[in-house]
Chain A
């Protein structure tokens, strides 16, 4: 895009600056739009599973429901509790929202369509997603209220626990792909299965890792059945209890942007990202971004399906699953995957 702006008669520095800015807007605005519709989709799926209609009043089929909700919270009053730590109280939702958007910088939407094609892309995503917990923790502490504080403690322990197993799963994928660059990982999946299937997910060694990664990403984004941080029967609304108006909406948007990001990571790391599912020429007629969105969409459907089906975990069960099952399992698979790679690519 820099060349395009240079052709308009800008110097290289300015063209780079404007191109980067345009790239950021081109990613951030569609992500926000996608969040609005993914919330609508989420509510529709959950409604359908529990035999309700879901949002159907605002606009045709209720399509404008998310925007009506957005407008509603925008017009509400921002309430700051008198005992709250004012600066941090307002900073927390901003951190959540910003961090949720930051990681999109390295997500590839096509062979060329990536804002920052850095060679530590996966580590960058991991680093940024580990920052997400601060929004929740700061919100819980700054609210100066019991339930948000409990929620913050839960969130901190939960996210650290599941990041460990996510890290090991990523190590497996990286060992297979031989690179940390997200585009490189997608390219490495081209023709991975019998020279025909473009996905790591069908690999027998990596499929269990996808299951671990998928469940861990539910826990990492605090989605049901792991939404212990906002368990309404125990903690009112968790860390969001004292929030209202736009500060609440920022949490909400950030949470769904994070979920979308995790869906994108599922698609990129295990299901071939913007590659079509099979090496077959006519499938390449469809632009890569459509394939990526389709894969993200299917993953998100799984997220909604699980929300509507599975009851919430108890906290000790959550910790047990993370530390006693996923951690040893993913560690075992790191050893097995590296052993297999050593055997097939290097020899005994």
Chain B
């Protein structure tokens, strides 16, 4: 029978199944970071258990690390304790693949997994972090788990799970100039809503997805969770294979060719049935900007802040009113009149080399507007940073008035020192615009790297298509 990619991945990892459908699935890659692991390591120790397969673990410190010079270590004692706890656990449990704070390859866990070739097609990939869906770009079944599950995977290499329903999102056609993977995924979320994918594993397909680079596909899958789906994925193709060739953790030589032959089968068969399908026309997607406190509260750069009075559903109306109040926006304001205070280019959604190149292309030879208090670029990993510096991108950003920082999660969630102050408005390439996400009282607008760059130059949201 014709199978979907998800069916194939699920079936090939099934270890055991109960009569009610609850299954034990095998986990190939376990990514670990400092926030969700301490209690799991503790649990193992308390129960006298050992990691089942140490080689499956790749760990890094990303959420709490400073993005300024690391010579002095971490100033905040609580952040420091969390990172030091990970350092200790790595030694205590004998984990070998650790990119600690001062390793040249350190970075955001979802950036370094693919960069190292630690994420491969056909794998199950988990991490105690919801944006693990990123790795689905490699035709892997990748999803975020909680700390109890982190412990469960460490102890048994398996997870207790139930099969999801399948949702195919097809984006057909060609996107216009200045429209990026980020705009595609924001448009998708705008269409299906933040709970639209709940209970589903999403496969992104269609010619516009196929046309994306691997980094673009990662951006799309990264935000599957923002559409409510634990996992998002894209079928493997030659781009997937070429991206992985020669990466340190990928198989090498003849073994690579053998693997690639298998990877080529990782796509949905013709005629495979999905529980649900959604289609978008790529040509209709414009540069997107969120205006509210949920990623589904999104509109086009030529759009306006919505008028709650036009919403018939009282629950939705109230949500819009609340969001506008929090965001300090008046109904009906054109988006391109909204002024901003800060700009953040970074996060596991948009901090890879192509993102930085694209943003640098916009700011080159220009300068950030006088009303911008801080514009920062935070590369996703040490290697991305090095590559960008080799290409001179750091100098482009610095000359334009941006700060050039060390890799980490940074202002995506403000667990380190990088945050918004109450009332500050930020154009951010991250993935969540929840209340307080980037700092208590901070106001986040999600955009693509190009749009963030254009906003930095204009001091307000601006249509990148007019700057290109």
Chains A and B belong together in one complex: no
Q: Which residues of A contact B (CB under 8 A)?
A: none
